[in-house]
Amino acid sequence: MSVNTNNIYGKISISDKSIAKVALKATLDCYGIVETVAGKLTDSISEFLKFDTAKGIKVTTVDDRIYIDIYAMIKFGVSISAVAESLKQSVKYAVENFTGMIVDTVNVNIVGVKL
């Protein structure tokens, strides 16, 4: 799916994959995040076969709303709640700035800890 909008210049359509790449960049730039990982076995298989370029990021769009699920590994010794809250705000800001649309929900799933 994609997010669509109109302005005086015409129609703008932004794919979920593009939004996922922006969310991935914002995620990896966030302090305490080591990497993103596949959330499910099917995601792991598609990542292995290189169908998915933004592993660990799932974007769903409904009308003009964007819903993002992030599956990430964090660095040992950091506050999980602080990193998760910072990650939510960073991703929300980056995607809203990129798309001009409203990010309704950012769900952060901490899959593991790296030493």
pLDDT digits (tens, 9 = 90+) for 1-36: 788 888 888 888 899 999 999 999 999 999 999 999
**Hey, what are 58's tokens?**
């799932």
Q: Which fold has domain 2-114?
A: Alpha-Beta Plaits (3.30.70)
How far from the centroid of its chain's Cα atoms is residue 31's Cα?
A: 15
**Hey, what are 43's tokens?**
């995601």
Mean of pLDDT over the chain: 88
Task: State yes or no: pLDDT of 97 exceeds 60.
Answer: yes
**Contact in structure between 74 and 110 (CB atoms under 8 Å):** yes
Task: State yes or no: pLDDT of 48 exceeds 70.
Answer: no
**Contact in structure between 45 and 15 (CB atoms under 8 Å):** no
Lowest mean pLDDT among 5-9, 20-24, 89-93, 104-108: 5-9
Percent of the chain with pLDDT over 70: 88
| Radius of gyration in angstroms for the set of CA atoms belonging to the chain, rounded to a whole number | 15
pLDDT of residue 46: 56
pLDDT of residue 30: 95
Where are the domains positioned within the chain? 2-114
